[in-house]
Amino acid sequence: MEAIQDLADIHQMVTRLFKLPKSSEEWDQYRLSKEQLSYFQEYGYISGIKLLNEDQVEILRQELAEIVDPKHPAHELFYEFHSNESEDPNSVLFHSLGHWRIAPGFHDVLFNPAFLMAAHQLLENKPVRFWHDQLFCKPAMHGGVVAWHQDYSYWTRTIAMQHLTCWTGLDDATTANGCLHYIPKSHKWGLLDAPSLSGDMDGLMHYLSEKQKKEFNPIPIALQSGYATFHHPLMVHGSYENKSAMSRRAFVLNVFADGTLSNTNDELLAGVPPIAKGNKIEGKFFPLLFEGIQ
């Protein structure tokens, strides 16, 4: 039997899906504006950033169709794999972590220059290190919710809080098919308790103050496929069910600034060798993606 290749061993692109700029001038086309950076600081997110063209989206859709099969030969490389995290057949939420190790296109999106430049800027120009990826897929007609939550509430096994999330659609995301929703400025609320991702949509409300409940005004983030939204690790966000005739497929890249430390002696990700508490997170599973323009 042919050995399964773990793409985590390769910390550079393995396809020609993207072309890395060779000069500062070539990188400039991907820079966020001062206005976009200010908006992120004020509201906790910035949306409508084009990361993929139609051909790139189609390649990733094809890879997705292959790797969601539990019988895929490299299935063991996933950190987590939930064909339906909700366990309700009428409310399906496919959710997985680790597909960058399996599919060449999903491996190379880590090195997409449009993603790297935006992430570098939003992390205050610090070197960008990979944390982990995710897939969130809601099928047409019976797609489930992603409950209101803050990403860092699940990541306290890492310190300091210098993380960033990038959500990219592989379908057009609309209010009908369960697009992402944000609570603007909620990244200034501090760390809240973590609810179940596929549980009660209103579970987080039990942890909010009366002032926070009054400020809880969801904003839908409708995006065309290939476009992304970036958000702060304390941004409260979630998405409603999909009862439309169109699927809602998306992938997420989670990164942090280089120098982030392990806050546990346990595994940081399932199957990954532990990094002792207080030690820098680095190595095979946490590659340095971008140091900045030299």
pLDDT-based confidence at residue 245 (cuts at 50, 70, 90): very high
| pLDDT mean across residues, the chain | 95
Which structural domains are found in the chain, ordered by start?
32-68+77-281 (2.60.120.620)
pLDDT of residue 85: 78
Mean pLDDT (whole number) for 80-104: 88
Asked whether the predicted pLDDT for residue 199 surpasses 70, the reply is no
pLDDT of residue 174: 97
Mean pLDDT (whole number) for 53-74: 97
pLDDT of residue 81: 96
Percent of the chain with pLDDT over 90: 87
Name the nearest CA neighbour of 161 among 111, 116, 124. Answer: 124
Asked whether the predicted pLDDT for residue 1 surpasses 50, the reply is no
The rounded distance, in Å, linking the Cα atoms of 62 and 9 is: 23
- Asked if residue 270 has a cis previous peptide bond (ω within 30° of 0), the answer is no
pLDDT of residue 243: 93
Please report, for the chain, how many H helices and E strands are present, in that order: 6, 14
Mean pLDDT (whole number) for 74-89: 88
Question: Hey, how many other C-beta atoms are within 10 angstroms of the C-beta on 87?
Answer: 12
